[in-house]
Amino acid sequence: MGGNCSTITVVSGDGCASLAARCGITAAQFTQFNPSPTLCSTLAVGQKVCCSAGGLPVPVENSDGTCASYTVAMGDTCNAIALSNSITEADLETWNNATWGWQGCADLQIINICLSTGSPPIPAPVSNTICGPTVPGTANPGPSGNLALLNPCPLNACCDAFGQCGTTSDFCTITQSPTGAPGTTGCISNCGTDIISAPQPPFQFMSIAYFEAFNVNRTCLNMDVRQIDTTKYTHIHFAFLDITTSFEVDTSQYMDALTNFASMTGVKRIASFGGWTMSTDPATYNIFRSAVSTDANRQAFASNLVTFVNKFGLDGIDIDWEYPGEQDIPGIPADSMDDGENLLTFLNVLTLALPVGKTLSVAVPAGYWYLRAFPIAKIVNSVNYMVYMTYDLHGQWDYGSAFDDLGCPEGGCLRSHVNLTDTLNALSMITKAGVNSNQLVIGVSSYGRAFQMSAAGCSGPQCTFTGPASGATPGRCTNTAGYIANAEIDEIIARGATVTHDTNSDSDIVVYDSTQWIGYMNNKTKASRTTMYKGLNMGGTSDWAVDLQAFLPAFTPTPPKPTRNPCTQAQGWVDGWVNTLLNNGKFEGNPVIVEGNPGIGCGCWNDVPQMWQNPVHPLFLALRTL
């Protein structure tokens, strides 16, 4: 007989007799409709039994080829699900080997599963996911769609099975699972942490030095821009020039330094705009946001920048906006996530406006959280190079955050701000995002990040620092707890300190006064990093900042060389020429003294015709005798 029987569901306390009674049939009929000889001894709550002729109904594949699906509930088991649907656990294992998140009946997850043959269902939405198929509202791509590629991460970052984006091995590693089903193997898309090197090195490996024009405001550790050793660098970035609320360049604060900078030779002279303070100060944070917000503002800003570089004869412009699309910088409102695209539009306008031969660069962050708002693969096509700020990777702001310090479950572990592992992760992130390595100028630092250790004598990656306020001793010139110049570090070392090179982070570590800890780069470490970056076909290195490197004597300008009066030069030239002619001829030993004669002194060139008209002029006589 075909078709499905009518059914009832076994409840606690049921036996075959009670089931027959509930069906309203005889025991014989019940046995006829449910012929299994073991049924009465194996009844289970939730199981269905027939009350009429026919087979037990089972879920069937949908007409579009997708399976009949069920969303697992808390407390469910495969046995209970199978019994209630008149199928077996073996059926569930077979039908779900391609189901998203299927870990097998032994580790049943709260997911959508198949109760029949057919292609897997779209995964159940998870409220806090940001990538992959579990993002709420995701449409089913159909049997031919690849669930793993749905809702990809910005920057081509890795998406893990939990629907989170990241760039470290925690997010990017493909792992093994008991079933091998999709969504159970760690990373699901854009996996891996390889650095993608350009096939060719750059035409020129750049060596950029940022010069802090504001170093003049320090009580010590001051540097005149003319003291930069230009043989060490290809580019000098003058940081930072001010921008007014009407998008004009304000040179008033550093005019003398700018004038001297503009007169430098042998290096590319780049004007840098922005920086952390301008980008985040309540009084100025909105300047960049407003400057890129409309076509009119973008045109005005670009025009003013071009006028400025032309006026001073500079070689290029560097934009350091920290950061478009930021969402959590204290003291200022969250920025629109559209401002990354607005920045791109502005850069395109500026590129077209700059004269041929002038360069354009941008400085970009080396962390996923702030870089994600940059349409970085497009921006790289609008600039000559990018300064990649691979410093400040750690700092006092890490206190209490377990997510900022790898291998530090409680957060607040001592980490170098130029940690090599983090730097390599950053290089992987940006090259995977589509930036050519030979356009990337990698940051090196001439300062350290300092902390107060929680316990004196501690060593190793689990050592922590105090907080939330910094307990680091400020440098005597930089005067900022947690930030200290290499020049100041060298003074500390000279007074006596423990200095080591940590190979794991490829950083130099200084410990002094029992609990004062500094992570930084000395010159040897900078050189080894530079060699590494050359091997990766990176575009160069960028040092923040040249004025932090060493204490220098006060600058004394070199007096200009005296310039000879052109008439005096002419007088001497004529005297020498005439006497040479005479001494080489028959008048040798009888020189003619030209000095004092008409037409040879000041204004001599205007009097040349008189020489030829005067038959007794010494020059005429000398030439006539040859």
Q: Which bin fits 258, alpha (ψ -120 to 50), beta or left (φ > 0)?
A: alpha
Rounded Cα–Cα distance for residues 574 and 146 (Å): 90
Token pair for residue 506?
A: 């490829």
DSSP 52: S
Q: Provide the edge-to-edge strand list for the sheet that holds 187-189.
A: 165-166, 158-160, 187-189
Residue 537 host element (H or E): none
In the chain, the amino acid numbered 240 is F
- The secondary structure of 168-236 as a DSSP string is SHHHH-B---SS--TTSSBEEES--------SS--SS-EEEEEEEGGGGGSSS----GGGS-GGG-SEE
In the chain, the amino acid numbered 566 is P
Provide long-range contacts, Cβ within 8 A and 24+ apart, for 507-510.
507/416, 507/418, 507/419, 507/420, 509/416, 510/448
DSSP 328: -
Say how far residue 397 (Cα) sits from the centre of its chain: 18
Rounded Cα–Cα distance for residues 598 and 623 (Å): 17
Residues in the chain: 626
- The secondary structure of 468-512 as a DSSP string is SS--PPPPTTT-BTTEEEHHHHHHHHHH--EEEEETTTTEEEEEE
DSSP 119: B
Alpha carbons within 13 angstroms on the beta-carbon side of residue 397 total: 10
Residue 386 host element (H or E): strand 385-389
Whether residue 322 lies in the annotated active site: yes
- CA 45, 29, 83 angle in degrees (round to 5)? 20
Contact (CB, 8 A) for 302 and 249: no
Q: Which of 322, 326, 341, 488 is catalytic?
A: 322
Alpha helices in 321-394 (DSSP H): 339-353, 368-371, 376-379
DSSP 380: T
Token pair for residue 411?
A: 């957060």
Whole-number CA gyration radius for the chain: 39
Q: Which bin fits 535, alpha (ψ -120 to 50), beta or left (φ > 0)?
A: alpha
DSSP 39: G
DSSP 16: H
Rounded Cα–Cα distance for residues 595 and 180 (Å): 102
Rounded Cα–Cα distance for residues 65 and 44 (Å): 32
Dihedral (CA of 379, 347, 260, 218) sign: negative
What is the set of active-site residues?
A: 322
